[in-house]
Every structure is written in C-alpha cells, then in structure tokens.
Amino acid sequence: MINRKVLIVTHSDLADGFKASIEFFIGDRYPVTSICAFTKENNVQEVLQNYFDNLDPADEVIAFSDVLFGSVNQWLGAYKNREHYHLFSGTNLPIILSILLKSDEEYLTLDEINASVAECANSVVYVNTYNPNNASEDDE
C-alpha cells in the first residue's frame, strides 16, 4: 500500500472546509494537512518547506489549491518536480473525492488522474438551466 498524503492549501479558510468534508466522506483513510493562507498561516512558503522536508521520498502527495494563478498555487507549483507529487488547482469536492477514492495499492497513474479530471470537469452546473432529462445514469 502506498503512503498517500493529502495537502490542501487555499486562500482563507477553504482548506479547513475541504478537510472537514474529506473526513466526513472518507474518514481518516489518509492524513490530511490543511493550510489556510493569509488567515491562520501567513508564512505559507516556510510551512510548505517544512512539510516537504519531513516527507519520505516514497510518500505520494496529492495537493489541492484553489486558484490556478494565485500565489498559493504558485508556491505549491515549486514542488511539481518532486516524484509522486500531484497538484490540482481550481479544486472542488468532486475532484478531491474522485482522486482520493482511487486505489492506494499503487501510485496514481497519469491515466487515472486524467480520467478523474475529465469525469469532474462537468461537476460545475448552473442548476437553473439544467435539464435532468439529459442526465446520464452516472449523474444520479
């Protein structure tokens, strides 16, 4: 089994909300670290450096950020060359759950990651104009 860790870094308190939702849906399957930038934690770069310095090289880190071109994602992007590191931005709960419910018997593959991103790309819906008659059985 892979030692998978979850890192959520967002502006304000969103990271704590995602962490609470993860724990609600999947329990304590993986250790989840949430960093709330500019509210509870002002020196995010130092906290991230400490986080990554204390990892085992074999650890798989699944990182989630909120805004693609925001400072938080830029800081997390500095680690994208680390082996077994996956960074998702524009994060929402469907992508988090899709990724975290994958098997942890082996490291995530690019195909698995791309399938989750494609699957969750339609998870943002304007419900006022949504026609449930066009929904597939997977949407239910």
pLDDT tens for 16-35 read: 999 999 999 999 999 999 99
Question: In the predicted model, what is the mean pLDDT of the chain?
Answer: 92
pTM: 0.90
Spatial separation of the C-alpha atoms in residues 103 and 112, rounded to whole Å: 10
Q: Which CATH class is domain 4-139?
A: alpha beta
The predicted model gives 106-110 an average pLDDT of 96
137 or 77, higher pLDDT: 77
Sorting pLDDT into bands at 50, 70 and 90, what band is 135? low
What gap in Å lies between CA 53 and CA 68, rounded to an integer? 24
Residue tagged 């018997």 (tokens) = 105
In angstroms, rounded to a whole number, what is the distance separating the alpha carbons of residues 129 and 32? 36
Inform me whether the pLDDT recorded for 97 exceeds 90.
yes
Strand 32-37 relative to strand 85-88: parallel, antiparallel, unpaired?
Answer: unpaired
